[in-house]
Amino acid sequence: MTNTMKAERLVILKPGREAPTMRRHPWIFSGSITMVQGNPGPGDLVAVYSAEGDQLAWGHYSPASQIRIRLFSWAQDIPDGAGFWRQRLQRALGLRESLRRSSGTTAYRLVNAESDGIPGLIVDQYGDVIVIQLLTAGTDALRDTFADLLMEMIAPLTLYERSDVDVRGQEGLLPVAGLLRGVEPPPLVDITELGLTYRVDIRNGHKTGFYLDQRENRQRFRELAVTQEQSGAPVMLNVFSYTGAFSVCGLAAGMVRVVNIDASEDALALGQQNVAANGYDSSRVTDIQGDAFVALRKLRQQSERFDLIVLDPPKFASAQRDVQRASRGYKDINLQAFHLLKPGGTLTTFSCSGAISEDLFQKIVFGAALDAGRDIQITGHLSQGSDHPVALTFPEGAYLKGLTCRAVQ
């Protein structure tokens, strides 16, 4: 053995299972482990060794999860507690400094979990409010450490937790939400993005309140909408509209009419507030509450046609077993959208399902266009924003993919 197994708690991998760890992939699955020593509990620090006794990495142990260890250090020395995490947070904040200093935007992601070297930690900023998610046993055990460090390093008025997500159940953790530090946040937090104003419900909204990962795509959509506006009196359809951020971008670019479809009455109501907050006439916006699949068919029956369509559905596939069913869902909504798209119009379509690859998504959209009998050109490929980076060692971090598709006829 090249190193003495001196750690208090350690995990030994099966022969031949060390390659992903040596390539710095941050996950070790339960099936790769042959022995656990020291009786580690949820969130405990463990050292990882190869079957030959070589020390490989350090990580947090999660006995309830199939992802048994989340790795964060490949150094030989034991990570230095709060000092180690301070350095990781400083690095993540530093990489976003130019965005944080930019004018016209007050909301962004500060820490993106594994891709920032802190598995399971999400940190989003909404002006003077910081919202965090602790998604793993390791980050859950470090709740106070991260809370204290973030208050010291950023000094927000409010540090709020939104760890009320299903993925925590896979770690054997209960949902948690509420104030961690500072003062209670207002019912709605006002943010600015690229010069537009949005109201965010950080207590009850999706994710941490807002789809921050779409910021750069909203900017591209706004530029596209400006081009479309030059062709007449364009009309826009926003499907799975949530609180209407894409719709506000469309109005800002000159859309004369916007139709929103969403299942949530509360989301549509907040979308109306976002329209008003930017000074646009609410009469230009029509909201349809209900099932998007049904609503799209009804619009088609009514012979509606749109210059711009956005499809931004929720995650259809949470795991590989869901891919076939999800593919049918993606094809259906894209098929209906192509039927509703005017010649010369553009569909902007997304999938946020990590189990759906970029290649598969493009094939699904191709199949929908073929069945709709439309001649379609791809004019752009879209992904999550630069504040949601993807480490090359962690391709699973790439979840959002999108296409802009122009109807030739």
Maximum CA extent, the chain: 74
CA–CA distance, 185 with 206 (Å, rounded to integer)? 17
DSSP state of 53: S
CA–CA distance, 217 with 225 (Å, rounded to integer)? 12
CA–CA distance, 112 with 84 (Å, rounded to integer)? 17
Structure tokens at 387: 């504040």
For this structure, is 352 an active site residue? yes
CA–CA distance, 246 with 238 (Å, rounded to integer)? 7
Marked catalytic residue, from 45, 268, 352, 360: 352
The closest alpha carbon to 41, from 185, 171, 184, belongs to 171
Q: Where are the alpha helices (DSSP H) in 96-201?
A: 97-101, 137-141, 143-154
Amino acid at site 61: Y
How many helices, marked H, and strands, marked E, lie in the chain? 11, 20
CA–CA distance, 45 with 79 (Å, rounded to integer)? 9
Structure tokens at 68: 């048994």
Structure tokens at 294: 């049904």
Active site members: 352
